Structure 1
Amino acid sequence: MTAVASQLTGPALQASRAALSSALSDHPGVPSNDDEDGEVQEVDMQAQADGLRTVFSDPTHFNVKHPLYSAWTLWFDSPATKGRNLPQTPISAFPQTPAPNTPGAAAAQGWMEDIKRVITFDSVEEFWGLYNNIVPPSQLPQKANYYLFKEGIIPAWEDEANKNGGKWSIQLPKDKNRSNIDKMWLYTMLAAIGETFDPELTKADLAGSPPEPVITGVIVSTRPQFYRVSIWTRVAPSQAEDDPLRKRIEQIGRHFKLQVLGYAEGQKLAAPLATEVEFLSHKDSEKKGKAKKIVV
């Protein structure tokens, strides 16, 4: 096969290589190197590999898939999509699909009319196929948004999965972060679809029932002077310091800041237009600045 140069770096490149390596080793029809008598058999791996198409060799018609824990849906809006029947989106390789009939859809119908549902995917390869065919946040027009939410959850407070939750978010000046926002958004999506934001899931006893995932979606927004990246949760702690849910939510925010965004422990982002990594419940967001935020 012809080698394809990758522009990915760090964790993203490692994740891609792991998926491809697993595809070659686990794909049905690829024989083992050992026969039943223990003798080493010569296998033409090149011939076997020629039949496999990954997102890197064929971004649209690949045939290797590794399932995700959950299915995810990408939504998009920008000034160009508002009030139009057909979206003027940067999506080039995937068709539009109808919006789901979820419990909160009716309540959010007016606001959701301008948000276009792009595609739902449930595998590592489909994610990279999507990522390789959309415009990165650094090149989006002003006031545009990408919303990546679990299948069946709409990116609105009114959805049943979101109404009792909140969001971690960070706001970053555009002029200083144009070269970083694409990587930040990629790593945020990878952490979401890989279910690595929540330590309660990664530490769960495999013999028992894992707790319900609390991440419902992630968002990146472009504004005239800043970018905003957010993580939405289905639950939010109370203002009480001893609320047992508070520690779990704080751990999600700390992972977001340290492992995903790459900031140092205790690092402050004090700068014009910048915010720290902050959590606020959706209900408190309606209080116009009167609510106390959680900051990591």
Structure 2
Amino acid sequence: MASTSPNPPSALSGAALQASRAALNAALADQSASADASESLEPGEIQEVDMQAQAEGIRTVFSDPTNFNVKHPLYSPWTLWFDSPATKGRNLPQTPISAFPQTPLPQTPGVAAAQGWMEDIKRVISFDSVEEFWGLYNNIIPPSQLPQKANYYLFKEGIIPAWEDEANKNGGKWSIQLPKDKNRANVDKMWLYTMLAAIGETFDPSPTTNGSNADSLITGVIVSTRPQFYRLSIWTRLAPSATEEDGLRERIEGVGRHFKTSVLGYADAAKLAGPLATEVEFLSHKDSEKKGKAAKKIII
């Protein structure tokens, strides 16, 4: 069933609005003169544009959530995936997405474990604009209302939310575990801010701000519900080694610090560990696979 209390973008404030605007700033919207006007120009003549009239005619999703006429593309397209014990063996995700047709699953990397796991995860929808993101967000069940052992995965288009994917296999994840009884009222906001920071490229902004063609470190973000806690995770395509000297560790730590302070809203020096709770911790996927050995964690 659909969420009964959608959170329209025009009502956003604080960190959510800031992150949304970061998503807009990561996009390029060209406002060009009409073709007819251009064709009537003499060689070397410059078309005069009434900028005030154009500005007055622009309605964004922030000023008019239902009748906007401008679409803001994101820096990268994204895909939302979902799984839950209640959806195993079924063709549709247990979310109110009846308006969105089910799409075929892309090929899973050639690893038997990943193939079995991917049979139960469902691809919900892909999007590449701010407006499509809000259309999705306002029509799915929030994490606080999901059944136990359910997961949302928001990953860049073309990247499967599995360790074995080429984009993930050399990476790791930042994560935090939050007790359910103390965070039921906060987890929806935390998940929203995490998604906004991901699609707005604010976790690792360097590829979008310096004109570089380098890939962002971020491949996807996840929220998981468990019987006694929630877990939020940010997956990266690379993980620092003990001998790295190229600044990767500093960049990875920057992601974790932004996650802790700007997205989750904790003080930089805050200690978060406790019963069922963890600090904001980074662990490579390769270390996660090691059984019975001390993990090499980075803690912010």
Flag whether TM exceeds 0.5 (same fold).
yes
**Secondary structure of the residue that 2:136 maps to in structure 1?**
helix
Aligned with residue 292 of structure 1, among 284, 293, 296:
296
CA gap of 1:203–1:91, structure 2 versus 1, over 3 A, is same
Q: Structure 1 counterpart of 2:16, which letter?
A: A
| C-alpha distance in structure 1 between counterparts of 2:297 and 2:270, whole Å | 17
1:57 pairs, out of 56, 66, 78, with 66
Shift of 1:18: 8.9
Give the number of the structure with larger relative contact order, counting CA–CA contacts within 8 Å between residues 6 or more apart: 2
Q: Which amino acid aligns with 1:220?
A: V
Q: Which residue of the partner structure matches residue 79 of structure 2?
A: 73
Aligned to 1:129: 135
Q: 1:285 to 1:52 in 2, by over 3 A?
A: closer
| Contact 1:164/1:235 (8 A) holds in 2 | yes
- What are the ranges of 5 or more consecutive residues in structure 2 without an aligned counterpart? 1-7, 35-45
Does residue 1:263 correspond to 2:266, yes or no?
yes
Residue 263 of structure 1: SS of its match in structure 2? Answer: coil
Q: TM-score, normalised by structure 2?
A: 0.80
Shift, 1:244, TM fit: 3.0
Spell out the pairing of 1:180-191 with structure 2 (5 A cutoff). Answer: 180-191=186-197
In structure 1, the partner of 2:251 is: 248
Provide the rounded CA distance (Å) in 2 between the counterparts of 1:9 and 1:26: 27
CA contact 1:55–1:125 (8 Å) conserved in 2: no
Q: Secondary structure at the match of 1:75?
A: strand
Which residue, 162, 165, 177 being the options, matches 2:183?
177
User: What is the DSSP-based 3-state SS (H/G/I as helix, E as strand, rest coil) of the residue aligned with 2:116?
Assistant: helix
Cα separation, 1, equivalents of 2:73 and 2:194: 19
Is the CA contact 2:74–2:130 (under 8 Å) kept in the aligned structure 1? yes
Runs of 4+ in structure 1 deviating by more than 4 angstroms, as ranges, are 4-7, 14-20, 25-30, 36-46, 48-55, 102-107
1:153 maps to what in 2?
159
Report the secondary structure of 1:235's partner residue. Answer: coil
Deviation larger for 131-140 or 239-248: 239-248
CA displacement 1:208-258 (0-9 Å, x = unmatched): x34321110000001111000000011111134756321111111111111
Q: Which residue of 2 aligns with 1:109?
A: 115
Give runs of aligned pairs for residues 225-236 of structure 1, distance below 5 A. 225-236=228-239
Alpha carbons of structure 1 residues 7 and 140: separation in structure 2 relative to 1, 3 Å: farther
* Distance in structure 2 (CA, Å) of the matches to 1:279 and 1:53: 35
Instruction: Note if contact 1:76-1:117 (Cα within 8 Å) is conserved in structure 2.
Output: yes
Moved more, 283-292 or 132-141: 283-292
CA positional deviation for 1:52:
9.3
Moved more, 132-141 or 243-252: 243-252
CA–CA separation in structure 1 for the residues paired with 2:59 and 2:239: 49
Conserved? CA contact 1:214–1:233, under 8 Å: yes
CA deviation digits over 1:187-215, x for unaligned, max 9?
A: 110111111101533653x3xx3432111
Alpha carbons of structure 1 residues 195 and 238: separation in structure 2 relative to 1, 3 Å: same
Q: Name which of structure 1's ranges 72-81 and 97-106 shifts more when overlaid on structure 2.
A: 97-106
Q: Distance in 2 between matches of 1:53 and 1:261?
A: 23
Report the count of equivalent residues.
279
Percentage of identical aligned residues: 75
Letter of the aligned partner of 1:228 in structure 2? R
Q: Is the 8 A contact 1:144 1:221 kept in 2?
A: yes
TM-score (normalised: structure 1): 0.81
